[in-house]
């Protein structure tokens, strides 16, 4: 029988500064010095291949470790703010204006190779290649849904999966990005939870997802046809990677770069209360979405174990603090996954409305029919049931909106990201 190995667990905790993550990791399985042990293997349709075992953390041979450490020493310039880039360039003895050229190339023209930055001297490009990198993520597979959604399965320089979803719409594009590889929260309706936490992503890796997705659709440096919205609703709990998340948002908002302002970014959390309260005082912040999943603590404890740390009353008090600071143009919503015969009854609709009204919360509720996948034990609520649930909310003064699923057929929909490789990789674009 394997025993808990605290030293391995500390490797993952070392990148976090708060006690919040230690709670979350307790739900991600038992760490051993070889791999993460699961109670039962993940079943998947025979027409798909799941690579979860390939991504679980394990010790690597000394040679592989040395290679990864060497790669880690190379600075990922995509994760630098303009000010940080100026300091780096000046520190290596180059004039400050070179930093502006590099930032524009990486963030505005979306170039991912120093050799392509033709306005830099060849000697400087060679020097940058030795000490830095313009890109660390590589696309392994891309999948195109019948509804136009794209799922990009990428990997980090150290071999962990990262998934990004591009959702085209009539008036805008939406890119759903991941904040972590895997996820430490064990929400029972989410396939990503089967991976556990592999590691958190850097600010550069978050920004890169947007650059890669736009380049994959439009081509390097080409202007998107529509405006771009971002949603932090991919793999991971964004508020357990808070600093990297906010830094990435600041970089992407720069007018000299991607220029995707915070009002066009929505971040979803399962309810990390201290970070919600911290967001209250941040001026240039993204829109906030709270995943509720259940109207009572008893049910939410089962569906979303994070509720045992921050129960509904504490969570909604923090939500009220945030709602009271909303500025013009900011949005605040609740997300409610609809699980057939689990959390979708008339009584549960009344309980949810009463809960929100009791806390005087006026945010709308997005009703999300569950996106099924083996081995998850749930099915989506029927359309008629979802509509009845919505009408009950409306009758009690709570605005409900039914979200249409996108990308279900390629495992790109909400709660389906789990590094799944399907038989056919589609070259889209």
Q: Sign of dihedral through CA atoms 407, 262, 141, 180?
A: negative
Q: Which residues, 6+ apart, have CB-to-CB distance to 30 below 8 Å?
A: 2, 4, 36, 37
Q: Residue 176 catalytic?
A: no
Alpha carbon distance, N-terminus to C-terminus of the chain: 50
CB distance 335 to 368 below 8 Å? yes
Both tokens of 388, joined, read: 């009845």
Cα–Cα distances in angstroms (integers) from residue 38 to residues 27, 46, 53, in the given order: 11, 21, 11
Catalytic residue among 176, 183, 187, 414: 414
Both tokens of 416, joined, read: 């389906």
Q: Residue 130 catalytic?
A: no
Both tokens of 322, joined, read: 């945030």
Work out the angle between the directed axes of helices 242-253 and 203-218 (0-180°, nearest 10): 50
Q: Is the peptide bond before 375 cis (omega within 30 degrees of 0)?
A: yes
Q: How many CB atoms lie within 10 A of CB 191?
A: 26
Q: How far apart are CA 295 and CA 280, in angstroms?
A: 24
Q: What are phi and psi of 40, to 5 degrees?
A: -150, 150
CB distance 246 to 267 below 8 Å? no
Catalytic residue among 25, 163, 176, 205: 163
Just list the catalytic residues. Answer: 163, 414
């Amino acid at each position: 029988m394997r025993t808990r190995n605290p030293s391995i667990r500390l490797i993952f905790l070392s990148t976090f500064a708060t006690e919040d993550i230690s709670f979350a990791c307790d739900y991600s399985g038992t760490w051993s010095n070889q791999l993460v042990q699961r109670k039962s293997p993940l079943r998947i349709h025979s027409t798909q291949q799941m690579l979860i075992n390939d991504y679980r953390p394990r010790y690597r041979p000394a040679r592989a470790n040395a290679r990864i450490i060497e790669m880690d020493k190379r600075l990922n310039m995509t994760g630098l703010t303009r000010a940080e880039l100026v300091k780096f360039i000046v520190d290596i003895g180059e004039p400050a204006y070179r930093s502006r050229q590099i930032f524009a190339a990486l963030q505005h023209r979306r170039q991912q190779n120093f050799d392509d930055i033709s306005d830099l001297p060849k000697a400087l490009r060679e020097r940058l290649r030795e000490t830095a990198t313009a890109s660390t993520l590589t696309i392994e597979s891309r999948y195109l849904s019948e509804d136009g959604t794209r799922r990009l399965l990428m990997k980090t320089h150290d071999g962990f999966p990262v998934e990004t979803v591009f959702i085209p719409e009539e008036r805008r594009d939406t890119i759903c990005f991941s904040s972590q590889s895997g996820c430490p929260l064990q929400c029972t309706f989410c396939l990503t939870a089967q991976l556990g936490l592999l590691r958190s992503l850097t600010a550069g890796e978050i920004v890169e997802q947007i650059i890669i997705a736009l380049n994959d659709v439009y081509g390097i440096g080409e202007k998107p046809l529509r405006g771009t919205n971002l949603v932090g609703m991919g793999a991971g709990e964004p508020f357990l990677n808070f600093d990297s998340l906010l830094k990435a948002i600041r970089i992407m908002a720069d007018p000299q770069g991607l220029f995707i302002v915070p009002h066009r970014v929505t971040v979803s959390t399962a309810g990390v209360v201290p970070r919600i309260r911290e967001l209250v005082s941040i001026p240039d912040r993204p829109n906030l979405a709270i995943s509720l999943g259940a109207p009572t603590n008893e049910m939410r404890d089962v569906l979303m174990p994070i509720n045992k740390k921050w129960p509904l009353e504490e969570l909604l008090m923090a939500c009220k603090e945030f709602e009271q600071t909303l500025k013009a143009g900011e949005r605040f919503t609740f997300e409610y996954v609809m699980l057939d015969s689990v959390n979708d009854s008339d009584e549960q609709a009344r309980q949810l409305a009463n809960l929100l009204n009791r806390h005087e919360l006026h945010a709308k509720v997005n009703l999300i029919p569950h996106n099924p996948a083996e081995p998850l034990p749930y099915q989506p609520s029927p359309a008629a049931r979802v509509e009845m649930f919505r009408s009950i909310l409306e009758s009690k003064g709570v605005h409900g909106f039914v979200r249409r699923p996108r990308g279900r057929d390629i495992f790109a929909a909400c709660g389906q990201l789990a590094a799944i490789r399907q038989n056919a990789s589609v070259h889209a674009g």
